[in-house]
Structure formats: structure tokens, C-alpha cells
């Protein structure tokens, strides 16, 4: 039996993007040495924090 993951991901979110958007995602992921999934998670948190700061 495998190990239990710390902070396991329970949900899958999918999204269609065009060629330019995919190129941008791949380039940004490479530049930040992260996966596209990690990049999108960080972006989500960043957008949330930005919204919170604007509301304050």
C-alpha cells in the first residue's frame, strides 16, 4: 500500500486554452521552475489575496 500524500489534491479542474495561452503557461512554468498546476494554484491564491487587499 502506498504512502498517504501530505496535502493530497482531491479535485481535478480542467479548462480549454488556445495555443497562445498554452505557450504562455508553459513558458511561465519553465521560468518559475514549477508545473502548470502549481503555477495556476499560486495564481489563484495571488488573485484571492489581491481581492482581499482591494476590499480592505
pLDDT at 1: 65
pLDDT at 2: 73
pLDDT at 48: 96
25 with 39: CB under 8 angstroms? yes
Handedness of CA 39, 40, 45, 48 (dihedral sign): positive
Q: Is the pTM of this model over 0.75?
A: yes
pLDDT in tens, the chain (56 residues): 677 888 888 999 999 999 999 999 999 999 999 999 999 999 999 999 999 999 98
Amino acid at each position: 500500500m502506498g504512502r498517504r500524500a501530505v496535502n493530497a489534491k482531491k479535485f481535478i479542474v480542467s479548462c480549454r486554452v488556445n495555443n497562445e495561452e498554452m505557450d504562455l503557461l508553459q513558458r511561465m512554468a519553465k521560468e518559475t521552475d514549477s508545473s502548470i498546476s502549481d503555477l495556476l494554484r499560486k495564481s489563484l491564491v495571488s488573485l484571492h489575496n489581491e481581492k482581499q487587499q482591494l476590499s480592505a
